[in-house]
Amino acid sequence: MNSLEDIVSLCKRRGYIFPGSDVYGGMAGTWDFGPLGVALKKKIMDKWWKFFVEDREDIYGVDAAILMNPKTWEASGHTATFSDPLVECKSCHGRFRADKLADGITESVTTDAFKALNVKCPTCGKSDWGEIRQFNMMFSTHVGAVLPDDEAGDEGARERAKKSIAYLRPETAQGIFTNYKNVVDTIYPDMPFGIAQQGKAFRNEISPRDFILRDRECSQMEIEYFVHPGTWEENFEKILKLQHEFLEGEMGLDSSKIHEYEVPAEDRAHYSKRTVDIEFDYPNGKEELMGVAYRTDFDLMNIAKASGKNMEYRDKNTGETYVPHVIEPSIGVERLILAVLSCAYAEDEVGGSKRVVLRLPEDLAPYRFCVSPLLKNKPELVEKAHEVYAALRAKYGNVTWDDSGNIGKRYRKQDEIGTPKCVVIDFDTLEDGTVTVRDRDTAEQVRVQPEEL
């Protein structure tokens, strides 16, 4: 098993992922995608969209605003309950998530139960803890012309400041629920049907860690799948099975590293009657990759109450009227990227020397081919290489050019960034038109006509 440090180092070295605001010393819990990282991220998100939206007749897409009416988060329960247990060390004043300080502590741990465990502070080593308090993870901001002194001003100013508070969405799901009625009234979908969304979500994690696994700003891909209440169980199984098909079939994840975890009632989110987490064996251990949750009619009923709008669905054939129940598969893009990278990362030996290789599935690799002339100071090779490069780019788009260093160094670099094939134009090319194609995984070389690629 490779280490997380190896992957972090490769990501930075080769332009996949940089620490956020790197030039200013970084910003905790944020990461920036470089040229190769954004290519991988886009391919993953596009494949998800194709698999779950474009290739299906029962799932529709939306793209809602990140800033939403604060009533959204009152109705959804996030204002009251979207929190983690925060505990402060009285000795060094470090603040931590209580349930992450030792194995076996749940999010609902009480102060007494926590203190009885005698957990040591990770910073100072003492065991002198304050009360456990619930810390709300939503990022808040003010919308409109609110001045910093308004909050300390007269009652009217304070009230206006309070009313201007909005949140960066903590999940994309509510952007779907709030558009349920719009979709039903414009698309007239048959039941069951889903609404999908991809986009940013924000969580003020108490202690962001493990690279992109627990970050404060992430991209989510979520579907709310609306079903007749009497059919939720079969639809839950159907949606769960689809996730495995996507993760193993489309993303190429190693199935032996994927595990289902039936989340016990006391650990489920406040809205869920059944949740199965799909966990993945990351380099630092088993962690949640995604979840499938049965959210009942919790969200639509809350929206109906808070908005006064009718959320009922009327069956076109039977005339039956009901508020649908919901199955929600939710996946974090960064968690998926890390799973893909940790399956792909390998160290092996080629021709007696060690190398790092990223065995990405061909359709996820940032570049499909790398084209290069054997020698960059031979104009006839360079000219022919440019011809092949232009033809492959026209056909595939994601093709890169490399004429730096010697050929061995170029192969090493392309192995590290995961390019499946290197195409080299040499003196034989000038004789018979064939090019050398070198395979990333086997390091074997064959000669073919460029048109065969």
Nearest residue to 101 via CA among 83, 115, 120, 82: 120
Instruction: Pick the binder of Zn ion from 7, 64, 75, 89 (CB under 5 A).
Output: 89
450's tokens: 């460029």
DSSP 3-state of 248: helix
Residue 252 near Zn ion by CB under 5 A: no
Instruction: Pick the binder of Zn ion from 67, 113, 124, 448 (CB under 5 A).
Output: 124
Residue 80 near Zn ion by CB under 5 A: no
Nearest residue to 108 via CA among 271, 289, 268: 268
Measured from the CB atom, the residue of 120 and 160 that comes closer to Zn ion is 120
Please report, in angstroms and rounded to a whole number, the separation of the first and last CA atoms in the chain. 34
Residue 123 near Zn ion by CB under 5 A: yes
Single out the segment in contact with Zn ion by CB under 5 A; choices: 121-129, 199-207, 274-282, 424-432. Answer: 121-129
> Site residues for Zn ion, window 291-320 (CB under 5 A)?
none
Instruction: Pick the binder of Zn ion from 26, 61, 94, 153 (CB under 5 A).
Output: 94
Shortest Å, Cβ 132 to Zn ion: 15
Shortest Å, Cβ 70 to Zn ion: 36
37 CB-contact burial (10 Å; exposed 0-12 / middle 13-18 / buried 19+): buried
Measured from the CB atom, the residue of 92 and 157 that comes closer to Zn ion is 92
DSSP 3-state of 131: coil
| CA 138 to chain CA mean position, Å | 18
Single out the segment in contact with Zn ion by CB under 5 A; choices: 123-131, 298-306, 328-336, 372-380. Answer: 123-131
DSSP 3-state of 268: coil
Shortest Å, Cβ 95 to Zn ion: 10
Measured from the CB atom, the residue of 125 and 249 that comes closer to Zn ion is 125
Residue 269 near Zn ion by CB under 5 A: no
Measured from the CB atom, the residue of 92 and 350 that comes closer to Zn ion is 92
Within 8 A by CB and 6+ apart from 35, the residues are 15, 366
Residue 92 near Zn ion by CB under 5 A: yes
Give one word for 91, left, alpha or beta, with left for phi > 0 and alpha for psi -120 to 50. alpha
Shortest Å, Cβ 115 to Zn ion: 14
Cα angle 101-103-106, degrees, rounded to a multiple of 5: 80
> Site residues for Zn ion, window 347-386 (CB under 5 A)?
none
Q: How far is CA 73 from CA 173, 299, 307, 374, in A?
A: 11, 11, 13, 60
Shortest Å, Cβ 116 to Zn ion: 18
What is the spatial distance between Cα 283 and Cα 256, in angstroms, rounded to a whole number? Answer: 14
Measured from the CB atom, the residue of 124 and 448 that comes closer to Zn ion is 124
Phi and psi (nearest 5°) for 52? -95, -20
Residue 91 near Zn ion by CB under 5 A: yes
Single out the segment in contact with Zn ion by CB under 5 A; choices: 44-52, 82-90, 159-167, 300-308. Answer: 82-90
What is the spatial distance between Cα 317 and Cα 292, in angstroms, rounded to a whole number? Answer: 29
113's tokens: 């139960």
Measured from the CB atom, the residue of 133 and 393 that comes closer to Zn ion is 133
Nearest residue to 246 via CA among 199, 289, 209, 309: 289
DSSP 3-state of 289: strand
Residue 130 near Zn ion by CB under 5 A: no
Nearest residue to 413 via CA among 356, 360, 367: 356
Shortest Å, Cβ 151 to Zn ion: 32
Single out the segment in contact with Zn ion by CB under 5 A; choices: 47-55, 59-67, 93-101, 217-225. Answer: 93-101
Shortest Å, Cβ 100 to Zn ion: 15
353 CB-contact burial (10 Å; exposed 0-12 / middle 13-18 / buried 19+): exposed
Residue 122 near Zn ion by CB under 5 A: no
Nearest residue to 333 via CA among 235, 251, 270, 417: 251
Single out the segment in contact with Zn ion by CB under 5 A; choices: 90-98, 221-229, 244-252, 318-326. Answer: 90-98
Instruction: Pick the binder of Zn ion from 36, 40, 59, 121 (CB under 5 A).
Output: 121
Shortest Å, Cβ 19 to Zn ion: 25
444's tokens: 């074997």
Count interface residues toward Zn ion (CB under 5 A): 7
Single out the segment in contact with Zn ion by CB under 5 A; choices: 91-99, 218-226, 258-266, 381-389. Answer: 91-99
Q: What residue ranges bind Zn ion (CB under 5 A)? A: 89, 91-92, 94, 121, 123-124
